[in-house]
Amino acid sequence: MDLGTVFAALADDSRRKVIAELASGPEGQERACGSFDLPVKKATRTYHFRVLREAGLVAQRDHGNGSALRLLRADIEEHCPGLLQLLVAELRQSSERSTEATGRGGTDCSPGAAAL
Amino acid sequence: MDLGTVFAALADDSRRKVIAELASGPEGQERACGSFDLPVKKATRTYHFRVLREAGLVAQRDHGNGSALRLLRADIEEHCPGLLQLLVAELRQSSERSTEATGRGGTDCSPGAAAL
DNA sequence: CTTCAGGTACGACAATGTTCATACCTGGGA
DNA sequence: TCCCAGGTATGAACATTGTCGTACCTGAAG
């Protein structure tokens, strides 16, 4: 687990969002790759998932037709304690911001945002 | 303090080393820009320091002839708790590695590494 | 079987990031 | 005074990254 690779992976907004949403969910949760709302085409999505895998942050399981991501929480907490909290806090802040703006109905309709 | 900018800044080995060495030193310590042993020319060094400044990680004071870096520890700890510990741990590991290899005389001759 | 949604692989491309040479500025010491 | 060490600014070369179109594969539904 290389810090440089991890930081490079987390420098991108889309990838940080994926990790933060996974970290907001329960331990061991698998989430469908298509369930992340990213502002990019699917080829780019595939690319981002690969970067996250190669940084050792997630594992990807192939369902034949679809696939799912699982956060490698134990590894991350062991090598980078506190890192996930940072990302979750950022995600929470951004969803608070959009809740303020619209009055209701921000990003927190995503599963797990209210859970932990 | 933008997480994306911070992670991008810390994705580079040289920049991570600078922050880690500053974080290993005492609070409020000022360290001469030239005292960091980086494997790049001085123009590149200047560039890296600028990236660190613009990420909000360090402040730079001009001595006329030379200049010095100071870690913005309070800001970092407030917005990214635990981040500095990660970098210090990585620095310590790498200097342990070189100490093992040579038997003695690794990177820890740099000021501040043994101090605290 | 045919079609379709979800993914991947590959190549292309623009945008960014990293590195350096060079020229320049500044202050301190010979 | 004249250098020199330490920094910066600029511009160029180069590498990397992020994005996408396209072609392709796979399993499920009709």
Task: Place B4 in a pLDDT band, splitting at 50, 70 and 90.
Answer: very high
| Sign of the alpha-carbon dihedral angle for B88, B93, B94, B95 | positive
Nucleotides of C under 7 A from a protein CB: 5-11, 17-23, 26-28
- Can you list the alpha helix ranges (DSSP code H) found in A25-82? 42-54, 73-79
Residue B1 has pLDDT above 50, yes or no: yes
- Average pLDDT in the B55-74 region? 94
Burial A70-93 (b: 16+ CB within 10 A, else e): bbbbeebeebbeebbebbbebbee
| Sign of the alpha-carbon dihedral angle for A10, A13, A14, A16 | positive
- Residue B103's pLDDT is 52
B4 part of contact set with chain A, CB < 8 Å: yes
Chains A, B: CB contacts under 8 A, how many?
Answer: 48
Residue B114 has pLDDT above 70, yes or no: no
Q: What is the pLDDT of residues A13-39, one digit of tens each?
A: 999 999 999 999 999 999 999 999 999
A90 part of contact set with chain B, CB < 8 Å: yes
CA angle, residues A108, A113, A116, in degrees to nearest 5 = 150
Question: What residues in A contact B90, CB-CB < 8 Å?
Answer: 3
More confident residue, A55 or A102: A55
For an interface test with A, the pick among B2, B3, B10 (most A C-beta atoms closer than 10 Å) comes out as B3
A7-CA/D17-C1' distance, Å: 14
**Which CATH code fits A3-106?**
1.10.10.10
- Residue B97's pLDDT is 74
Residue A48: other Cβ atoms inside 10 A: 19
B28 part of contact set with chain A, CB < 8 Å: no
Out of A12-16, A23-27, A92-96, A98-102, least confident range: A98-102
- Residue A104's pLDDT is 52
Among all residues of chain B, which has the CA nearest to that of A15? B4
Q: How far is B85 from chain A (nearest CA, A)?
A: 9
A83 part of contact set with chain B, CB < 8 Å: yes
More confident residue, A109 or B81: B81
Residue B30 has pLDDT above 50, yes or no: yes
Query: Where are chain A's structural domains?
Result: 3-106
What separation, in Å, do the N-terminal and C-terminal C-alpha atoms of chain B show? 27
Q: What is the pLDDT of residues A47-60, one digit of tens each?
A: 999 999 999 999 99
Task: Place B104 in a pLDDT band, splitting at 50, 70 and 90.
Answer: low
What CATH number matches the domain at B3-109, 1.10.3210.10, 1.10.10.10, 3.40.190.10, 3.20.20.70? 1.10.10.10
- Average pLDDT in the B69-85 region? 97
What are the strands, taking DSSP E only, across chain A?
30-32, 58-62, 67-71
